[in-house]
Amino acid sequence: MKISWGIKIFSLYGIFVLFVLAMVLFTMTKDVGLVTDNYYEKELTHQEHIDKLKRTEALEKGLKITMAQSTVNFTFPRLAPPEQFDGIIYLYRPSNNLLDKTFSFTLDTSFVHSLPLVNFAKGLWKIKVDWNVGENSYFNEKIIMVN
């Protein structure tokens, strides 16, 4: 039995339409996690971020971020009394933005803040510390691996 060329063309177009529909359905089921939801607002404050980085680089002794077993220790420079320090520690998970966490911190008398990593997923984390001492603001970043 011979199939006419009209049926062959119709079948080819039908297969193409089914392929396109399958791709649309497949891409609609995938989760698209942005780095940040409000990236337009962050772009407007980019110059402030550059100024923070310059102030941080100008420090003689900066913030030290170290890992010890299941904690991350933040050792701040002795720029002022510990009560004058405030800020936010942001833990960013590149592979899944639903795991991102934000913490405020307080320093003890030795200018150290410890953050336990007990309930953190294993893998790569990016730590961003946005901190202030009086009127001056600073920013540090570090990548860590949680095992």
- The backbone region for 116, taken as left when phi is positive above 0, alpha when psi lies in -120 to 50, beta otherwise, is beta
Number of structural domains the chain divides into: 1
Asked if residue 32 is part of any domain, the answer here is no
Do residues 116 and 146 lie in contact, with contact meaning Cβ atoms separated by under 8 Å?
A: no
Question: pLDDT for 61-120, tens place per residue?
Answer: 889 999 988 889 999 999 999 889 999 999 998 888 888 899 999 888 899 999 998 888
Asked if residue 123 is part of any domain, the answer here is yes
Asked if residue 127 is part of any domain, the answer here is yes
Please report, as a single letter, which amino acid is at residue 21. Answer: L
Asked if residue 128 is part of any domain, the answer here is yes
Mean pLDDT, all residues of the chain: 89
Asked if residue 31 is part of any domain, the answer here is no
State whether residue 73 is helix, strand or coil.
strand
Asked if residue 13 is part of any domain, the answer here is no
Long-range contacts: 96-105, Cβ < 8 Å, 24+?
96/33, 96/121, 97/33, 97/34, 97/35, 98/33, 105/74, 105/131
- Please report the pLDDT score of residue 31 as a whole number: 72
- Please report the pLDDT score of residue 36 as a whole number: 65
Residue 115: CATH number of its domain: 2.60.40.10
Full domain range(s) for residue 109: 39-146
Asked if residue 102 is part of any domain, the answer here is yes
- Please report the pLDDT score of residue 117 as a whole number: 86
**42 or 134, which is more confident:** 134
Q: Does pLDDT of 33 surpass 70?
A: no
- Please report the pLDDT score of residue 34 as a whole number: 60
State whether residue 5 is helix, strand or coil.
helix
Q: Does pLDDT of 1 surpass 80?
A: no
What predicted TM-score, i.e. pTM, was given to this entire model? 0.70
Asked if residue 99 is part of any domain, the answer here is yes
Mean pLDDT of 40-61: 86
